Amino acid sequence: MPSRFARRLSPVALATTMLLAAAAHAQTTPAVAAPALYPNYPSETPAEFVPVTASFNYIKRAVMVPMRDGTRLNTIVIIPRNARGAPMLLTRTPYDANGLVSHADSSDLGTILQGYDNAADVIVDGGYIRVVQDVRGKHGSEGDYVMNRPLAGPLNPTPVDHSTDTWDTIEWLTRNVPESNGKVGIIGISYDGFLPLMALVNPHPALKVSVPMNPMVDGWMGDDWFHHGAFRQINLSYMLEQVVTRRGDAKWFTGTHDDYDTFLRAGSAGELARQRGVTQSGFWKKLTAHPAYDSFWQEQAMDKILARQPVTVPTLLVHSLWDAEDIYGAIAVYKAIKPKDSANDKVFLVMGPWSHGGGIGDGSKLGALNFNADTALHFRQEILRPFLDRYLKDAPAGAPAPVQIAPVSAFETGTNKWRSLPSWPAGCASGCAIRPTPLRLAANQRLVLGGAAAPGAARAYDEYIADPAKPVPYRARPLNYGYDEAKGQTWPRWLADDQREASGRTDVLTFTTEVLTAPVKIAGEPVAKLVASTSGTDADWVVKVIDLYPDQVGSDAAMGGYQLMISADIFRGRYRESYQHARPLAANQALGYQFALPTANHVFLPGHRIMVQIQSSWFPLYDRNPQTFVPSIFEATPADYKKATQRIYHSSFVELPVVEAAR
């Protein structure tokens, strides 16, 4: 406390006096170290924490596996405790390897593996060594990320790709995991399902099986980015969150309760991409530079790539009949590589009644549909597990021959039964044939199955006004895209939604058969063969094949009058003449359009009816067609969007792959 003398000095005089005194003291007093402001208080955090895991039933190792170019990839190896001579099951992913094998803090292997992309019951019960790896440029791995990184070549100037990275990873695993038997399988869903396909390009000798589930195959023809040229703008949020940061920590935001409003207010997909920052992504720049099916897309299409490869690795392709994301890919690959499987022992197909990735979850229901059994559990235990065991495990001497699964295991919706088939499409195990049968549009909103077109069908038509200001929603509003059911986000199962709301709109044409008196079974791809005109110079056409339930269903009242979409897709009119080149449509001229719908394996039961719906928007799943031809719809202006009169002529039909008894 200052003295009374000091208190009487002015502040300036006091400061001067103190400085002079300090200087004099410094000249006469030896220097000493200043004491610490606070005493030391030892940290309670150890320099390095060593987890105590002796009680765990697994051993987890995190390693950085070197690739041939020196890039190191974050790889998690999980080994069942006391494993000896165990096979390895690999998943490569852009979705955070650490997170995929850390679904809980647990000492139990099955618990930490539960979740997306892990058939945990098969892995644990089978005693597999689980390996999960971040692809280059994502999460814990080094290097640069490129969406669906193409093979080294015209689209990829580097010597490395997912094929070489898989080869190098398997080489490292076989040399550095002594608990294994040296055999490796690769499995994954969606993007992680695309990677098992890449592994089939110049495969490592130790790769014994590949299981691509719901794989991304052709981003333009019918998987994630386009369908027949129509842009799937619902995936803008995925592009942002997946591409713009290494760890996927950029978040999509919205200012509305209804996604319909978000997309409609923005105008074009390009404008919304700018508003959300997606345009900063290199992938967005590539995508918008290639709106047509040019070499950029064709050279990346995995079905085309694998069609040029020998079939040497047993492959189990898994397809979901109501896959809202990658409904095209598995069937496309099957069609491309099955003809080369001359011994019918390398290429296998499973089709289940699931949404995207539904084969690893609960397969007893899908939305309002009840299958009366867990179809996904059947797949994992009766198909996937025997397949993996057959090719990856070392059979003990004298053991019975391993189980051989059917070439095709297809769930038949409608009857809700699994069918073992020799190939796909096939109507039954033997004794039947598939006959393309026209489902013809007729007057008074009728459908007629089979037979010739009615007299005058080429001139008769139904019409509607397609207004871009009021596009047809792809499901009942409000629309809430996402995967969190607790927040009401049921996007994965929307393809199984009731279509009644659409059928009541004046801009959706609806045609219906008489009540069926006998079952009608279809197996394969329906083909839309439209004759249509538009008053505009561009147009989208959406065609939906629907199972219309009886007005009352005694066993399940909620299904009374339900309109269940069995197969549906969209076609962008500008690609009518060529997928490679967009051209304007001739206004008010009847033109032909032909495009395949997704594969189906369904029985329309007696008492049901078959319905076809046709419309010109599916919003905001797909971006709006301005209905005025512009060079790039991504850059369409508000003035480009105009109403159009759409006419669907009665010479149009959907060709159904109807199964009949062999004649």
What is the distance between the alpha carbons of residues 565 and 73, in angstroms, rounded to a whole number?
A: 42
Residue 11 pLDDT: 44
* pLDDT beyond 60 at 472: yes
Average pLDDT, integer, range 348-366:
97
Task: Read off the pLDDT of residues 622-634 as tens digits, 9 standing for 90 and up.
Answer: 999 999 999 999 9
Residue 132 CA, chain-centre distance (Å), reads 19
For 46-79, the pLDDT digits (tens) are 999 988 999 999 999 999 999 999 999 999 999 9
Helix (H/G/I), strand (E/B), else coil: 93: strand
pLDDT of residue 14: 40
Measure the CA angle with vertex 433, ends 332 and 376; round to 5°.
50
Look at 100-109, 170-179, 212-221 and tell me which has the smallest mean pLDDT. Answer: 100-109
Report whether pLDDT(27) > 70.
no
7, pLDDT greater than 50: no
How is residue 550 written in tokens?
């009886």
Whole-number Å distance between alpha carbons of 624 and 391: 48
CA 430 to chain centre: 33
For residue 638, say if its preceding peptide bond is cis, omega within 30 degrees of 0: no
Range with the lowest mean pLDDT among 157-161, 215-219, 401-405?
Answer: 401-405
Give the residue-averaged pLDDT of 261-265: 97
Q: Considering the chain, what percentage of its residues have pLDDT values greater than 70?
A: 94
pLDDT of res. 30:
55
When pLDDT is averaged across residues 475-480 and rounded to a whole number, the result is 94
Q: First and final CA of the chain: distance in angstroms?
A: 114
Q: Give the span between the Cα atoms of 598 and 53, in whole angstroms.
A: 48
pLDDT at 15 over 50: no
Positive/negative CA dihedral, 435, 327, 595, 565: positive
Question: What is residue 39's predicted lDDT score, i.e. its pLDDT?
Answer: 78
Q: How confident is the model at residue 145 (pLDDT cuts 50, 70, 90)?
A: very high
Neighbours of 269 (CB within 10 A): 25
* pLDDT band at residue 468 using 50, 70 and 90 as cut-offs: very high
Rounded to an integer, what distance in angstroms lies between the CA atom of residue 315 and that of residue 583? 40
Residue ranges covered by each domain of the chain: 1-31, 58-220+307-421, 230-290, 432-661
Q: Mean pLDDT, to the nearest integer, of 328-351? A: 97
pLDDT tens column, 549-564: 999 999 999 999 999 9
Residue 521 in 3-state DSSP?
Answer: strand
CA distances from 208 to 89, 170, 184, 204 (A): 10, 11, 6, 9
- Residues 432, 661: contact at Cβ < 8 Å? yes
Contact of 489 with 478, CB cutoff 8 Å: no
Question: Which of the residue ranges 9-23, 373-387, 531-545 would you say has the lowest mean pLDDT?
Answer: 9-23
- Is residue 16 predicted with pLDDT exceeding 70? no
Tell me: pLDDT of 29 over 80.
Answer: no
Evaluate the omega torsion of the peptide bond into residue 478 and state whether it is cis, within 30 degrees of 0.
Answer: yes
Q: Tell me, what's the pLDDT at 662?
A: 63
> If you average pLDDT over every residue of the chain, what do you get?
93
Q: What is the CATH number of domain 230-290?
A: 1.10.3020.10
Model pLDDT, residue 36: 65
pLDDT number for residue 3: 39
Take residue 467 and report the two structure tokens written for it: 């207004």
- Give the pLDDT band of residue 34 (cuts 50, 70, 90): low
Q: Is the pLDDT of residue 347 over 90?
A: yes
Rg (CA), the chain: 31
**Any idea which residue has 């199984």 for tokens?**
496
Look at 68-77, 237-246, 606-615 and tell me which has the smallest mean pLDDT: 237-246
Q: How far apart are the C-alpha atoms of 442 and 459, rounded to whole Å?
A: 11
Measured CA to CA, the distance from residue 102 to residue 111 in angstroms comes to 8
pLDDT at residue number 5: 34
pLDDT at 222 over 70: yes
| Choice among 347-351, 424-428, 524-528 with the minimum mean pLDDT | 424-428
pTM of the model: 0.92
pLDDT digits (tens, 9 = 90+) for 159-187: 999 999 999 999 999 999 999 999 999 99
Flag whether pLDDT at 20 surpasses 60. Answer: no
CB 639 within 8 A of CB 530: no
- Taking alpha carbons only, the member of 630, 623, 615 closest to residue 536 is 630
Query: 58-220+307-421 domain in CATH 1.20.1260.10?
Result: no
* Average pLDDT rounded to a whole number, residues 268-279: 96
Mean pLDDT on 227-238? 97
List the single range of 35-49, 92-106, 248-262 with lowest mean pLDDT. 35-49
| DSSP state at residue 597 | P
Reported confidence tier of residue 12, pLDDT bands at 50, 70, 90: very low
For domain 432-661, give the fold.
Jelly Rolls (2.60.120)
DSSP string, 528-577: EEEEEEESSS--EEEEEEEEE--S--TT-GGGTT-EEEEEEEEEEGGGSS
Distances (CA, A) of 8 to 3, 5, 12, 13, 319: 9, 5, 12, 10, 92
